[in-house]
Amino acid sequence: MSLLLELIRVVNLPYTVVFGLMLFYWFSVVLGIFDVDLFDFDVDDIDFGDELLGALNLGKVPFSLWLTIFSGQMTLYSLLFNKLIDVLFGTVSDPVRFIVCFVVFVPIAALITKIATSPMEKLFEIETISRKDFVGKECRVTSPEVNERSGVGEILVTGIPSILYIRAKAEEGLKKNDRAVIYEYNEEKDLFYVTRVEGLD
């Protein structure tokens, strides 16, 4: 209970909220609701600070992964920092606590996040593969069903699962774990049109 009270303490709350949202996001990714690349961006499209962002591995690994590691650290640092302030100095205003913690620990958290994500860079080099190349390949349905309005599938690219938004005619009757073949890709909407693999019920 004391940990929960510290997590929702005003001075710690911003970091707790961000970290909590990221945990909820990853839970949703596991369920197939969101794509792991939902929040991705290309640092080359940023006119200011792109070199610094690239040096921190932003744009090289999914931003959602980077932010999860970063916000998790900041939550921990804020908890420890404010407990230490309580013990050493007693009453210090929340704005002062927040500013000092932010200035001191954000660079540390960013550096450690860069170090932690560096070994993962090669895992995400598959993003250089054109999504058009998926046409003609099989995928596995991961959503409860697939129809003209909704559906999620998974395809293995160099052994790594990649989540796709797929659509199919309702009469195909595609359900979770069914195999389907991709026959068309809508680049504008980032949608893959699939049909049941021939020979399967």
pLDDT tens profile 151-191: 999 998 766 788 899 999 988 889 999 999 999 999 888 89
For 120, the enclosing helix (H) or strand (E) is none
For 77, the enclosing helix (H) or strand (E) is helix 63-88
In order of their start, the domains of the chain are 2-125 (no CATH), 129-196 (2.40.50.140)
Q: Are 40 and 63 in contact (CB under 8 A)?
A: yes
What is the predicted pLDDT for the residue at 27? 85
What is the predicted pLDDT for the residue at 90? 79
What is the predicted pLDDT for the residue at 38? 61
The CA distance from 154 to 169, in Å, is 18
Give this prediction's pTM.
0.59
Q: Is 147 exposed, middle or buried (0-12, 13-18, 19+ CB in 10 A)?
A: middle
What is the predicted pLDDT for the residue at 132? 84
The CA distance from 152 to 191, in Å, is 10
The tally of CA atoms less than 13 A away on the side-chain side of residue 62 is: 18
The CA distance from 60 to 158, in Å, is 18
